[in-house]
Amino acid sequence: MRELTYEVPATAEEAVAKVTGDEQARFLGGGTNLVDHLKLGVSTPKVLVDISRLPFDAVEQTDDGLRIGTNVRNSDLAAHPLVRSGWPGLSRALLAGASGQLRNQATTGGNLLQRTRCVYFQDITTPCNKREPGSGCSAIEGYGRHNALLGTSEACVATHPSDMAVALVALNATVVVLGPDGERRIPVADLHTLPGHHPEVETTLAHGELITHVELPVTTLAKRSTYYKARDRASYAFALVSAAAALSIEDGVVADVALAWGGVAHKPWRASRAEEALRGQPLEESAIASAVDEELRDAVTGPDNDYKRALLRGVTTAALSRLAPTEVSR
Partner 1 sequence: MTARPFEARSMGTALDRVDGREKVTGRATYAVEHDADLDEAPLHAWLVTSTTASGRVLRVDAAEALAHPHVVTVLDHTNAPRLADTEDRELAVLQDDRIGFRGQIVAVVLAETSEAAREGARLVRVHQEAADASVSLDGAETYAPEEANGGFEAATDQGDFDAAWAAAPVQLEQTYSTPLEFNNPMEPHAATALWRDGSLTLWDSTQAVHGVASTLAPMLGISQDRVRVQAPYIGGGFGSKGLPHGPEMAVALAARWADGRPVKLAVTRQQMFGLTGYRTRTVSHLRIGAEPDGRITALEHAAVGQSSAVKEFVEQTAVPARMMYAASSLRTSHRVAALDVAVPSWMRAPGEMPGMFALEVAMDDLAEATGIDPIELRERNEPEVDPETGNPYNNRRLVECLHRGADLFGWQDRPAEPRATLDGDWWVGTGVASATYPASFAPGNTARIIALDGGRYEVSIGAVDLGTGSRTVLLQIAADALGVDPEAIDLALADTDLPMATVAGGSSGTSSWGTAIAQTAQQFRADHGEHPDPGVETTTTTDGYPSTDHALHSFGAVFAEARVHRLTGEVRVPRLLGVYSVGRVINPMTARSQLLGGLTMGLSAALFEDAYQDPRFGHVVTQDLASYHVAAHADVRDLQVEWLDDVDELATPMGSRGIGEIGIVGTSAAILNAASHATGVRVRDLPATPDVFSS
Where on the chain is the footprint of ligand FAD (CB under 6 A)? Answer: 26-34, 51, 70, 97-98, 102, 105-107, 109-111, 113-114, 161-164, 210-211, 238
- Which of 312, 315, 327, 325 is CA-nearest to residue 92? 315
- CA 107 and chain centroid, separation: 13
**Alpha carbon of 240 to those of 111, 273, 311: distances in Å?**
18, 21, 8
- Which listed option, ligand SF4, ligand FAD, partner 1, none, makes contact with residue 206 (CB within 5 to 8 Å by class)? none
Using rule CB under 8 A, residue 58 touches partner 1: no
Closer to ligand SF4 by Cβ: residue 37 or 103: 37
User: Which span sits near partner 1 by CB under 8 A: 46-54, 182-190, 208-216, 313-321?
Assistant: 313-321
Among 19, 54, 95, 139, contact with ligand SF4 (rule: CB under 6 A): 139
- Residue 278 in contact with residue 288, Cβ under 8 Å? yes
Binding mask 2-41 for partner 1 (x = CB under 8 A): xx-----------------------------------xxx
- Residue 317 in contact with residue 297, Cβ under 8 Å? no
User: Which span sits near partner 1 by CB under 8 A: 48-56, 62-70, 251-259, 310-318?
Assistant: 310-318
With contacts defined by CB under 8 A, how many residues of the chain interact with partner 1? Answer: 39
Closer to partner 1 by Cβ: residue 142 or 282: 142
- Side chain identity at 258, as an amino acid letter? A
- For residues 2 and 274, give the distance between their C-alpha atoms in angstroms, rounded to a whole number: 46
- Residue 271 in contact with residue 259, Cβ under 8 Å? yes
- For residues 34 and 111, give the distance between their C-alpha atoms in angstroms, rounded to a whole number: 11
What is the SS3 assignment for 228-252?
Answer: EEECCCCCCCCCCEEEEEEEEEECC
- For residues 136 and 154, give the distance between their C-alpha atoms in angstroms, rounded to a whole number: 9
- Which listed option, ligand FAD, ligand SF4, partner 1, none, makes contact with residue 157 (CB within 5 to 8 Å by class)? ligand SF4
Smallest distance from partner 1 to CB 3, Å: 7
- Residue 121 in contact with residue 133, Cβ under 8 Å? no
- Residue 258 in contact with residue 275, Cβ under 8 Å? yes
Using rule CB under 8 A, residue 235 touches partner 1: yes
Smallest distance from partner 1 to CB 307, Å: 4
- Contacts with ligand SF4 by CB under 6 A lie at 116, 118, 120-121, 128-130, 137-139, 156-158, 199
The residues that touch partner 1, with contacts defined as CB under 8 A, are 1-3, 39-41, 117, 119-120, 122-123, 125-126, 138, 141-143, 145, 230-238, 240, 306-307, 309-311, 313-315, 317-318, 321
